[in-house]
Structure 1
Amino acid sequence: MTFSALLTRLDTLLQQRRPDYYATLKPAAPAAELAAFEAEFGLTLPAELRLWFGWRNGQQGFESFVQNNCLQSLDSAAETMRVNRELLEAGDFVPNWWQPGWVPFLENGGGDHVCLDSAGTFTGRAGQVLKHWHDWEARPVLFPDLTAWLAAVVQAYEQTENGTELLRDEQIEDVELAHPPGFPLEFEAG
């Protein structure tokens, strides 16, 4: 299934199974905001990430979208990247604590992020999805790309509680995503 089709399926699932949460989602990021983001960080966002932010530009509050993470807005992602870039340039990080090509799209409200790695840190595979912890060296590569990640999220929403009942925040916080064979890949900063 394509990323666009998965996004449409996710939108329907959220409306059906989490209507109160769905009401907290912000509208799409405008094209001009996406272009300004790319210009500031010297990046060309992959098509899937442009579609992601073009679907919803974050949410109100910190209710969990999946696994105790909420949707990060483009403004919030930019702020995360600015702070980490400054610390990286100041020499405050060990190798691979943060990389300029990591674009956060989920956050837990405590400084940890799920990022799209546009450079392919550790594996050489640009576009992979990794976890950035603010206070722990683990840097697992969770999925080979954003489409595989979104497919796992959609599958989790479809299968939790027989796929029909309304979902509570606690259920989605604890859900396990099905990883493709060989994932996650375990790496550490330092």
Structure 2
Amino acid sequence: MHPLIARLDQWLQANRPAYHAHLQPGASSDVIDEIARRAGGELPALLRELLAWRDGQPDDSDDHLEYLWSLMSTRAVLGALDDMAWLVENDDFGDLWGDGWVPFLGNIYGDHLCVDTVGGFGGEPGQIIEFKADDHYRYIRYPSIEAWLETLVSAFEAGLFGDDSKPDDREAREAFVTRRHPGYPIAKSY
């Protein structure tokens, strides 16, 4: 198990045991390979490991990993990829969704945090893009999934989150992220 996933697992077991117990068993490599195929390329190793650790949370769960973000199941990831492909083909989201984006966190508003496997906006493959369905801006939130997970786990361990996934002090949490990743988020408009 990747050390960051092991730290996340330990923290969740100790601090949010009900949420931890609610997570689904890991996804099979065949399903993870299908996500990679539909995304048109290879997935970052840490995303593969995250999906193999836990196949997200049940789709009907209203609990969150981090604030409003829920860990998506592979079924939800594949569904989102299908939905976005249909919207792009029908020119509804043609300029709003990027090739090679793989959602892994979602919320009730249809927004996603995605691993960008191709490096859109002149960025690097593996960067984390925030997709908001009703916003013409896209934000590069983190340089990589490793940066996202390390920041999340460190924020949990530093006590910046309560036992309900909400940051105790949103400004302190944002400052924590900014110190770790100067220059992020990077706003890009369409």
TM-score, normalized by length of structure 1? 0.88
Deviation (angstroms), 1:41: 3.8
Q: SS state of the match for residue 186, structure 2?
A: coil
Structure with more contact order per residue of length (Cα contacts < 8 Å, sep ≥ 6): 1
TM-score, normalized by length of structure 2? 0.88
1:1-190 alignment runs, 5 A limit: 4-60=2-58, 61-93=61-93, 95=95, 97-160=96-159, 167-171=163-167, 174=170, 175-176=173-174, 178-179=177-178, 180-188=181-189, 190=190
Unmatched runs of 5 consecutive residues or more in structure 2: none
Residues 126-181 of structure 1: per-residue CA shift (max 9 Å, x gap): 100010001111211000000011010011101126x9xx7234447955461411
Task: Say whether the 8 Å CA contact 2:39–2:102 is kept in structure 1.
Answer: no
Q: Percent identity, aligned pairs only?
A: 33
* RMSD of aligned alpha carbons: 2.1
Amino acid aligned to 1:129: I
Q: 1 CA distance for matches of 2:166 and 2:67?
A: 9
Residue 173 and residue 111 in structure 1: after superposition, are their counterparts in 2 closer, same or farther (change >3 A)?
farther
Unmatched runs of 5 consecutive residues or more in structure 1: none
